Chain A
Amino acid sequence: MYEHDVIVVGAGGAGLRAAIAAKNEGADVAIVSKVHPVRSHTGAAEGGINAALREGDSWEDHAYDTMKGSDYLGDAPAIETLCKNSPNEVIQLEHWGMAFSREEDGRVSQRPFGGLSFPRTTYAGAETGHQLLHTMYEQLVKSGVQVYDEWHVLNLAVTDEERPEDRTCHGVVAYDVQTGEISGFRARNGVILATGGPGQAFDHTTNAVSCTGDGQAMAYRAGVPLEDMEFIQFHPTSLPSTGVLISEGVRGEGGILYNAEGERFMFEHGYANNDGELASRDVVSRAELTEVNEGRGIDDEYVHLDMRHLGEERILDRLENILHLAEDFEGVDGLKEPMPVKPGQHYAMGGIETNENGETCVNGLYAAGECACASVHGANRLGGNALPELIVFGKRAGKHAAGAEMEPAKIETGQRGEYETAEIDSPVALGEPGSFGDADAVADGGTVAEGGSVDETSIVERAVEAERRNIDELLSSEGIHHSEVRSDLQQSMTRYVNVFREEEGLKQALRDIREARDRYKDVAVSDPSRTFNTDLLQTIETRNLLDLAEAITIGALAREEFRGAHWRAEAPERKDDEWLKHTMLSWNDGTPELWYRPVMLEGEDKTYEPKTRSY
């Protein structure tokens, strides 16, 4: 058993920032990550970091844009926390040496991005995430935080009181990929989940193979509600063959979208008469698919993104990485021809319910970054708002877990305060009570604390024992390979839970997920080795994807309105009277429970009034 004050799970932007912040508070911190920190998917972020740094801009304007972008489903205290703190955090990165693009006077450059009223997207070429990730990893090396890299976290060690709000997280159980050792990691102060999004639930995604939402699935099964999971961002410009991302920076710098007839459809077909290509991502993705569905797509699949008119010099200076990506992954020379693009799964707005200090409703359990939902992004995230979320909320979670004095959060977590319960109209049984491995230990919040008399170390040890049994079971049983289940799941999600959603399709997705769950009971790992057994780890990840895909689809079926990234054929308009509320889903020991919490539109000094959203 390993022991530290703070255990951070995941080592992308949020995890690194949390670890550095906790260390600065004097805590003994360790990172446990299934990939080495520099392999994290933060490195693939391209466009930039929104921060109100310059004269003429203000955090209030950034907050307004973010709330509008969220289609009024973001919580004002979280949005205002993001926008107030982002400038300091960006300057902190600069002070850590990050190689931002520069203006003539030597100050960091900013550019326009979709849905922004001011060009406040601070960037480093079209490789901002790479620069951010490596800059923070450098600081981590300097700080001496211990990294357990290629240790795959299997479960959380959480006590088993009936109400999640009474539970406490005492650590995690992890699997050493290289040796097969399963060990407990006791966290004296707290566990911070920074495990990224569930993009691999879809088959056309900009996300890495490692983006399997492990932290979300583990927190969910330990009793923490998942919030607003139906809101999945489909980025309008991914390469058709691989899903590789082409940055919004291309449109920010002036790139133009054309349909098969050579029309600049964002204007010519009236999708966004003011902002055109720089409308919010959900708007552009729907526009592209509408063009394709109405027969104006190229090869009935994609549209063209043209940046040739920007000129070679400007492209090389600000978007060079895009040329490499288009060439290497689509065989297209962006200087000479337009690039084919189509919407691809990119980001999960929802996630583990937290407040603005990163706390979940389970004591000692935190979440930050894409895996968390504070909620900053509501129904749609603006481009350039993911990276500031990592650093602002990563830092806050790290500080709080290390015991720093912080203002109490305004956002409520768990079933406390105002909320309402609801029924799920599913055509099939949901969840899987008692059917996976050691059900008591896994589905029931980690481990059993009888009468509260069990000490923290034994709680972690029991969770370790449960995982050892599960792994033995997976390695010794016979059955089908997980990749069949995963591939069917991804295809169903991409077909039915995409940009345009309708009731019957969503119900079909739930049937497919049910079938996939039933087949998953028969999966087995055929590689018998304890050495670097990726077969075993991917089998475990697939289980996480099943739980998350179901959560996404339940939320999408229940929300009968059109808001942000979520569009429903039966109800293609926003319904503020009924739906200014967050979708909450609790695992509830294997029988998912749906409930809702009102959105918080009251900011520090003003209330954000929902307005018609046009760009």
Chain B
Amino acid sequence: MSTQVPKREEVESTTDEAASSPGKQRRDTAKADRAGQQEKQREAEERAKANEDTVRIKVFRYDPEVEAKQEPRFDEFHVPFEKGMTVLDSLMYARDHYDPSLTFRHSCRQAICGSDAFFINGSQRLGCKTQLSELDEPVRIEPLPHQDVVKDLVVDMDHFYEQMHAVEPYFDPDELPDGELEEQRQSRANREKIKMSTRCIWCGACMSSCNIAAGDNQYLGPAAINKAYRFAMDEREGEARKQERLKIIEQEHGVWRCQTQFSCTEVCPKDIPLTEHIQELKREAVKSNLKFW
């Protein structure tokens, strides 16, 4: 698996634009003065290194706009280790104490916002949910493979969102109850059936782990198909709508592309049985096609 940085010409155009701004010129002249601060950060890291209880992390770095970071590289940080420390904690520590330009998405710190999926020691995992104590050192932290890198660990999620939106991801019942404050009924069994599929946090780990998605950019991918499953299996929607949904996931770049390698299921931080859901939709599609013969 390779980490993709955007093509060279894009890189250059961004740089030219930035170079012409007055802010950039001022920043250049100020660069020399920053050396003092960097020296301080290096000293802090030396002190941490001298202390035995540290963990080594190797973090992917890339910034199309900063000369020293235009060629992708790895930076190593020594972070003081505390019990219970996660990969995200170590990144935040390195950023706040050593290098403020270290860039990664994160927000909730509790595996619900889905911002911080990274490629950690060779697999897709959420930084906030991954304990450092479980990992071999140095811990290698890279952006999600198969997505364009914007900067450091930040990848472009637009394609992922487009695929999620492509399955008409919204509830669409035939009719709603008339009475005031009248809810639709849903059996406990049916709610249970869709429950796991509703747990998706859009982190993109599955899509990044999928070989098929890597080779076929139009493949809907596990997360989007799971989203389609969530509605196709919901008994509150009508039969005709279900058939429409099956048509969407049956198209050329839909469920039939899946080769049941289970990589998506393995990396899903919410334990969603993605491969099973894809297989079940294949079966549903076959059944419905037989019906129309």
Chain B nearest Cβ from A222, distance in angstroms: 25
Q: Which residues of B contact A475 (CB under 8 A)?
A: 23, 26-27
Q: Which residues of B in the span 46-67 have a Cβ within 8 Å of any Cβ on A? A: 63-66
Q: Produce 1/0 per residue, A215-258, CB < 8 A to B.
A: 00000000000000000000000000110110000000000000
Q: Contacting A472 at CB < 8 Å: which of B26, B95, B100, B200? A: B26
Q: Which residues of A contact B185 (CB under 8 A)?
A: 105-107
- How many residues on the B side are at the interface (Cβ–Cβ under 8 A)? 69
Q: Say yes or no: A127-B183 contact (C-beta < 8 A), given A97-B234, A242-B109.
A: no
Task: List 5 contacting pairs A-B, 8 Å CB cutoff, sorted by A.
Answer: A94-B183, A99-B191, A483-B100, A527-B100, A531-B65
Q: Produce 1/0 per residue, A470-484, CB < 8 A to B.
A: 011001111001010
Q: Is B165 an interface residue (CB 8 A)?
A: yes
Q: Is B120 an interface residue (CB 8 A)?
A: no
Q: Which residues of B in the span 166-183 have a Cβ within 8 Å of any Cβ on A? A: 169-171, 173, 176, 181-183
Q: How far is the CA of A189 from the CA of B157 in the complex (A)?
A: 31
Q: Which residues of B in the span 137-177 have a Cβ within 8 Å of any Cβ on A? A: 150-152, 154, 157, 161, 165, 169-171, 173, 176
- Is the CB–CB distance between A91 and B110 below 8 Å? no
Q: Say yes or no: A39-B65 contact (C-beta < 8 A), given A91-B181, A131-B198, A476-B23.
A: no
Q: Which residues of A contact B173 (CB under 8 A)?
A: 95, 97
Q: Which residues of A in the span 20-48 have a Cβ within 8 Å of any Cβ on B? A: 35-36, 38-41, 43-44
Q: How far is the CA of A210 from the CA of B114 in the complex (A)?
A: 13
Q: Is A530 an interface residue (CB 8 A)?
A: yes
Determine the residue in chain B with the shortest Cβ distance to A140.
Answer: B170
Q: Is A494 an interface residue (CB 8 A)?
A: no
Q: Produce 1/0 per residue, A541-578, CB < 8 A to B.
A: 00000000000000000000000000000000000000
- Is the CB–CB distance between B14 and A531 below 8 Å? yes
- Is the CB–CB distance between B201 and A130 below 8 Å? yes
Q: Which residues of B contact A331 (CB under 8 A)?
A: 84
Q: Which residues of B in the span 90-143 have a Cβ within 8 Å of any Cβ on A? A: 95-97, 100-101, 103-115, 129
Q: Say yes or no: A38-B202 contact (C-beta < 8 A), given A91-B181, A130-B112, A242-B109.
A: yes
- Is the CB–CB distance between B195 and A138 below 8 Å? no
- Is the CB–CB distance between A530 and B65 below 8 Å? yes
Determine the residue in chain B with the shortest Cβ distance to A87.
Answer: B181
Q: Contacting A528 at CB < 8 Å: which of B66, B165, B188, B199? A: B66
- Is the CB–CB distance between A99 and B195 below 8 Å? yes
- Is the CB–CB distance between B115 and A35 below 8 Å? yes
Q: Is B18 an interface residue (CB 8 A)?
A: yes
Determine the residue in chain B with the shortest Cβ distance to A536.
Answer: B100
Q: Is A53 an interface residue (CB 8 A)?
A: yes
Q: Is B9 an interface residue (CB 8 A)?
A: no
Q: Is B253 an interface residue (CB 8 A)?
A: no
Determine the residue in chain A with the shortest Cβ distance to B152.
Answer: A532
- Is the CB–CB distance between B191 and A94 below 8 Å? no
Give me 20 other A-B pairs in contact (C-beta within 8 A), A39-B105, A526-B37, A526-B101 excluded: A35-B115, A41-B113, A53-B181, A95-B176, A95-B184, A97-B171, A100-B186, A106-B188, A130-B201, A141-B165, A208-B109, A244-B110, A328-B129, A478-B30, A481-B37, A529-B65, A532-B150, A532-B152, A533-B103, A534-B104
Q: Say yes or no: A471-B23 contact (C-beta < 8 A), given A38-B114, A108-B183.
A: yes
Q: How far is the CA of A95 from the CA of B174 in the complex (A)?
A: 11
Q: Contacting B151 at CB < 8 Å: which of A96, A330, A525, A529? A: A529
Q: Which residues of B contact A503 (CB under 8 A)?
A: none
Q: Is A411 an interface residue (CB 8 A)?
A: no
- Is the CB–CB distance between A527 and B110 below 8 Å? no
- Is the CB–CB distance between B27 and A209 below 8 Å? no
Determine the residue in chain A with the shortest Cβ distance to B34.
Answer: A526
Q: Contacting A244 at CB < 8 Å: which of B109, B151, B182, B237? A: B109
Determine the residue in chain A with the shortest Cβ distance to B269.
Answer: A328
Q: Contacting B186 at CB < 8 Å: which of A102, A127, A208, A533? A: A102
User: Chain B interface (Cβ within 8 Å of chain A)?
Assistant: 14, 18, 21-24, 26-27, 30-31, 33-34, 37, 63-66, 84, 95-97, 100-101, 103-115, 129, 150-152, 154, 157, 161, 165, 169-171, 173, 176, 181-188, 191, 194-195, 198-202, 231, 234, 236-237
Determine the residue in chain B with the shortest Cβ distance to A43.
Answer: B112
- Is the CB–CB distance between A534 and B103 below 8 Å? yes
Q: Is A88 an interface residue (CB 8 A)?
A: yes
Determine the residue in chain A with the shortest Cβ distance to B36.
Answer: A478
- Is the CB–CB distance between A325 and B110 below 8 Å? yes
| 5 closest cross-chain pairs (CB), A and B | A97-B171, A106-B185, A527-B101, A476-B26, A138-B170
User: Chain A interface (Cβ within 8 Å of chain B)?
Assistant: 35-36, 38-41, 43-44, 53, 87-88, 91, 94-97, 99-108, 125, 127, 130-131, 134-135, 138-139, 141-142, 178, 180, 208-210, 241-242, 244-245, 324-325, 328-331, 471-472, 475-478, 481, 483, 487, 525-535
Q: Say yes or no: A41-B37 contact (C-beta < 8 A), given A475-B27, A476-B26, A526-B101.
A: no
Chain A nearest Cβ from B240, distance in angstroms: 16
Q: Which residues of A contact B14 (CB under 8 A)?
A: 531
Determine the residue in chain B with the shortest Cβ distance to A131.
Answer: B198
Chain A nearest Cβ from B39, distance in angstroms: 13
Q: Which residues of B contact A100 (CB under 8 A)?
A: 186, 191
- Is the CB–CB distance between B171 and A138 below 8 Å? yes
Determine the residue in chain A with the shortest Cβ distance to B161.
Answer: A36
- Is the CB–CB distance between B171 and A96 below 8 Å? yes
Q: Which residues of B contact A532 (CB under 8 A)?
A: 103, 150-152, 154
Chain B nearest Cβ from A489, distance in angstroms: 14
Q: Which residues of B contact A38 (CB under 8 A)?
A: 113-114, 201-202
Q: Which residues of B contact A329 (CB under 8 A)?
A: 84, 110
Q: Contacting B114 at CB < 8 Å: which of A39, A96, A106? A: A39
Q: Say yes or no: A135-B171 contact (C-beta < 8 A), given A91-B181, A91-B183.
A: yes
- Is the CB–CB distance between A531 and B188 below 8 Å? no
Q: Which residues of B contact A178 (CB under 8 A)?
A: 150
- Is the CB–CB distance between A134 and B183 below 8 Å? no
- Is the CB–CB distance between B182 and A44 below 8 Å? no
Chain B nearest Cβ from A208, distance in angstroms: 4
Q: Which residues of A contact B115 (CB under 8 A)?
A: 35, 39
- Is the CB–CB distance between A88 and B181 below 8 Å? yes
Chain A nearest Cβ from B216, distance in angstroms: 23
Determine the residue in chain A with the shortest Cβ distance to B126.
Answer: A328
Q: Contacting B110 at CB < 8 Å: which of A95, A106, A242, A481? A: A242
Q: Which residues of A contact B157 (CB under 8 A)?
A: 36
Determine the residue in chain B with the shortest Cβ distance to A538.
Answer: B100
Chain B nearest Cβ from A145, distance in angstroms: 12
